[in-house]
Structure 1
Amino acid sequence: MFILRPPSSIFQYAKKLFLSEQAGRIHLQELARKNIANALSLTNLMMGLSSILCSLNEHHHCACWLLFFGFLLDLADGAVARQLNACSVLGAKLDDFADFTTFGIATSLLLQAHGILDGVIVICYVMAVFTRLCFFSSGIPFVYRGLPCPYASAILACTFLLTGGNRILLYVAAVVMILFMTDHGNYPHDKVLESQVWKKIVYIGGLMMLFCCPLRLACIYFLIWCFSYTLFPSTLWSCRC
């Protein structure tokens, strides 16, 4: 036996169903908005873990490529979080953990420690990244104290590729990067994706280099980029430039 609903009852049921589906879509959109930056940080973490596996299996060129990609992801996740107003304590912790994995542990494996002195340099490098992430706050908005570890990581990866993994030059570069990261000098937040058009072009150029050019050419591009920030931070990369 069928029970016929009056037209008004059917209309109310359809209205409730529509409102429920609309609320579900809004909830999913809000969830995506809040977590898209976290997804980029997780991808950065995956790049770091994959780079570690590549280094352990002596696929160092692949490990360097993954570090470069992690470098670009790190620049993107903060910009996305600010643009979407999705900054959170969880996102900041996840970003720091991903940075430590990718730019600390994964990068240190490029040094290929085979002795006590080598091991000391590797430990000092990892601890410099840890110290830089945990304790070096300038107290000034969008200003870093000490060289940000993604730039140090990219420079070490470039050194490895351009020198064919020469251990002496790698250790010299690592010591220099340790000094820059633990220095008390201020480095501006470059805001590559939130600033002038030329900075966005530099970022897009980095992506194109990774996917369309030989790795050695991409290495030269990233080396120029990172050295310009390391040596001329305020002159070239300040938000006012």
Structure 2
Amino acid sequence: MNEFSWKDVTNALSLANLILGLFSIFCSFCKRCHSASWMLLISFLLDMAVGAITRHLSLCSKSGVELNDFAIFTTFGLASALLLGVDGPLNGFLAVIYVLAATFRLCFYSTDAQLTYRGLPCRYASCVLASTSLLTKGNTFILSCMASLMVLFMMDQSYYPHDEILESENWKKLVYMGGAIMLLSSPFSLTAFYCLLWSLSYIFFPDALWGKAVRLRLQGQGN
């Protein structure tokens, strides 16, 4: 496929991500948190595919970047926050804080280092909330606790390595493939538990587990 065709593919995936986010919002308003969470987990995998194709083929277009950013905000910001519910003032306030944290993370926490993120990427925070919602059947207290923790990680200025799931070591590709297969064929609770462990491993062990390829690349550039 030529460059133009691959740009179409990445834009289509970003658009699919956006549509899933909108449907997740609709499901949250209809009190169907199970379906809303499931769509966010699918978007979690789609976003990684978009990043992998874009980096591998060095694709960069203003319209593609803007579409992807809007999809990330809608899906991993707004749709994820609505998992908390807006029935009460406290939940509504926390949902607003979560959206603001995701917005600041996307707009202001950029970094010149091409191999790291500053602040937890929104998709991992969203994956934690969606998995927790599925495992706890939408328990608002537990979700509020997890959302508060994710806000702190997104606003933290610590550096996280580019995960590069589909371009790095084989075991990372297997982790991704395992998540995709489980989303399609495994029980909901098992899939949610798998995705939760995956996200927490990146959050709490970013360098020890997920930063190996980044360190090797930095060493190679230094030499």
Alignment TM-score > 0.5, same fold:
yes
Q: Does residue 139 of the first structure (1) align with residue 112 of the second (2)?
A: yes
Choose from 76, 79, 90 the match for 1:117: 90
1:60 aligns with 2:33: yes
Shift of 1:29: 4.4
Q: Alignment length, in residue pairs? A: 214
* Kept after mapping to 1: 8 A contact 2:161/2:214: no
Kindly state the Cα deviation for residue 96 of structure 1 after the two structures are TM-superposed: 0.9
The one-letter code sitting in structure 1 at the alignment partner of 2:35 is: C
Counterpart of 1:36 in structure 2 is 9
Q: Which amino acid aligns with 2:80?
A: T
CA distance, structure 1, for counterparts of residue 30 and residue 149 of structure 2: 27
Asked if the contact 1:138/1:186 (under 8 Å) is kept, the reply is no
1:153 aligns with 2:141: no
Cα displacement (A) at 1:208: 0.4
The corresponding residue for 1:11 is none
Aligned to 2:187: 214
Q: Which has the higher contact order (CA 8 A, sep 6+)?
A: 2
Counterparts of 2:190 and 2:3 in 1: how far apart (Å)?
40
Find the aligned partners of 1:230 and 1:49 in 2 and give their Cα distance: 26
Alignment match, 2:219:
none
The equivalent of 2:20 in structure 1 is: 47
Q: How does 1:75-224 map to 2 (within 5 A)?
A: 75-224=48-197
* 8 Å Cα contact 1:35-1:86 kept in structure 2: no
Q: How far 1:30 moved relative to its partner?
A: 4.4
Ranges in structure 1 where 5+ consecutive residues have no aligned partner? 1-27
Q: Distance in 1 between matches of 2:14 and 2:169?
A: 24
Q: In structure 2, what is the equivalent of residue 73 of structure 1?
A: 46
Q: For residues 30 and 194 of structure 1, do their structure 2 counterparts lie closer, same or farther at Cα, with a shift above 3 Å needed?
A: closer
- C-alpha distance in structure 1 between counterparts of 2:110 and 2:3, whole Å: 31
Kindly provide the amino acid, as one letter, of the partner of residue 62 in structure 1.
S
Structure 2 contact 17–75 (Cα < 8 Å) conserved: yes
Structure 2 alignment gaps of length 5 or more: 216-223
Structure 2 counterpart of 1:174, one-letter code: A
Q: Tell me by how many angstroms 1:88 deviates.
A: 1.9
Question: Where in structure 1 do 4 or more consecutive aligned residues deviate above 6 Å?
Answer: none
Amino acid at match of 1:119: G
Percent of aligned pairs with the same residue? Answer: 50
Q: TM-score normalised to the size of structure 1?
A: 0.85
3-state SS, counterpart of residue 165 of structure 1: coil
